Amino acid sequence: MSKKNLNNIGIVILAAGKGTRLNCTDKPKVMLEIGNKPIVSYIVETLFDAGFTKDQIVLVVGFENKKVKDYFGDTVTYSDQEEQLGTAHATYVGMEKLSKDIETVLVMGGDDSAFYTKETLLNFINKHVENNATLSLLTSEVESPEGLGRVIRNDNDEFAKVLEKEQLDDEQKNITEISTGTYCFNKKWFEHIFPEMKQIDGLGELGLPKSVEIAIDMQEKIQAIKLKNKKEWFGINTVDELKKADDLKKNF
């Protein structure tokens, strides 16, 4: 995908989380440092390198949002998520800041996207647009999927749904294909379905996996695209994972 074809693409980066498991008290999780820079700074740099502009990149901020805004200044666009109501809610709040000309939105977490390459992201967007999909999900194979949402496929290996870790039965816990939480959406479609979206059972929040369920019910075109290099997705939820990511960036 060339830079001139990026004009109707928007980016929403979810950066509002507190990072409770990492004991964040004075800064949001995405502002923890790896390689001497905030986690979220890497994906923002990658997006600029790919050709996206300030108006196309929205950081959805919440907890201690001043720390994010002080770091990035006026180089990106911000959307304030006043209440942490889930990833789908954060996505909707972020989309509201994008231009009316935006047709496709790439959504990702600011805390697990530091190792993505621009080639991977542009290829993902390109496949979404070329296949005229309503929803595309980036997935990855991992050795230790514990604590992560899983990608469920049907008997024909077609993408069927995403289940959060709390929803898995014993057999599904053995699945090693996980959701990276990185999606491409048709913007108008997502804005249309969000107001009627129900909370994920057992979680009490408006999560993005629910959009997969809705798309299937509406018989929309969806696809799950697996990362070629599984090392590009790196979830940071524990002190050990933070240290590993730090070591990797310092030796990158």
Domains of the chain and any CATH numbers: 3-244 (3.90.550.10)
Which residues, in sequence order, are CB contacts of 183 under 8 Å at separation 6+?
91, 106, 107, 108, 135, 136, 137, 138, 208, 211
Instruction: Give CA–CA dist 35/199, Å, rounded.
Output: 37
pTM as predicted: 0.93
pLDDT band at residue 20 using 50, 70 and 90 as cut-offs = low
Higher-confidence residue: 206 or 56? 56
Mean pLDDT value of segment 23-44: 90
Question: CA dist 94 to 63, 84, 159, 233, 245, Å?
Answer: 15, 13, 26, 22, 27
Give the pLDDT score at 4.
54
Residue range 110-158, pLDDT digits in tens: 999 999 999 999 999 999 999 999 999 999 999 888 888 899 998 888 8
Q: For 91, list phi and psi in degrees, rounded to 5.
A: -65, -45
